[in-house]
Homo-oligomer: A and B are copies of this chain.
Amino acid sequence: MDNRPIGVFDSGLGGLTAVRELRRMMPSEDIIYFGDTSRVPYGSRSRETILKYARQDTRFLRGFDLKAILIACGTVSTTSLDTLKAENDIPMLGVVEPTCRRAVAMTKNKRVGLIATAASVRSGAYERTIRAFDPTIEVISRACPLFVPLVENGRFRPGDVVIETVAREYLGSLRGTGIDTLILGCTHYPLLMEVIGGVMGPDVTLINAGEESAWEMKRALRASDALADPGRAGEAAFYASDRVEDFEKLAGMFLQEDLRRSVNQIDIETY
């Protein structure tokens, strides 16, 4: 048993969809979340910039006595995970491997789609990971650069002509490829489940990276007997690197629960 908190970080607010899943699956765990809102989005940055930011995010979180870290940022997971694992002596879990494992398990026709930020797609990490599990699977990728700003501006609901139009354009060319499984490779995208499902139709299984990585965290903690005392009620604390007003306003949308504690602002560039 280990009552130390789980650290979670993301480039911004998207990782809160993983926090929601962690809290749903493991209500006894304490969670410390850092959203790097002063430097979001990571998706369009270079590999060097992303690694530098991820190291700073990790150093900030390691100021707490944590038992594990979930890197809820697809961009960091696809570009920097191996380096961060080598540099840290606690489990560092990304969103890519668990998501790919689930996609491999779900696909029947061995045609898997991937939507993510430009950097995640460019990295090729999802394809590499899936092919390491099963080299006969074909992965068809599409970058969706406008999904994050649209979600953060509240445009994720079915019926909104803006998100519907953008989603049809991004996903239209995926529809004709015969994929039966689609990875939502960015933690913002679970808010678009309904819109994406509407475009792709009921025959395509959507894989939510936040949910899969939360399952993976639970498995990892259970395997090392490091789950928290099931009798306790876990708490979540939130940190951001820019205006906490904006964070607080949007967090409820991602968490689908009210923030019980206020958000604290930190200067990430000093870490």
Contacts and interface: CB of A to CB of B under 8 A. Distances in A.
A38 interface: yes
Given A161-B161, A161-B165, A165-B165, 12 more contacts: A38-B46, A44-B242, A44-B246, A45-B242, A46-B242, A46-B243, A46-B265, A145-B149, A146-B149, A146-B153, A162-B162, A162-B165
B165 A242 contact: no
Contact of A49 (B38, B45, B161, B246): B38
A215 B116 CA distance: 42
A242 B38 CA distance: 16
Interface string A160-171: 011001100000
A51 to B, nearest CB: 13
Given A39-B39, A165-B161, A242 B49 contact: yes
Listed from nearest, the 3 A-B pairs whose CB atoms lie closest are A149-B149, A162-B165, A46-B243
A229 interface: no
A83 to B, nearest CB: 18
Nearest to A37: B44
A246 B150 CA distance: 21
A87 interface: no
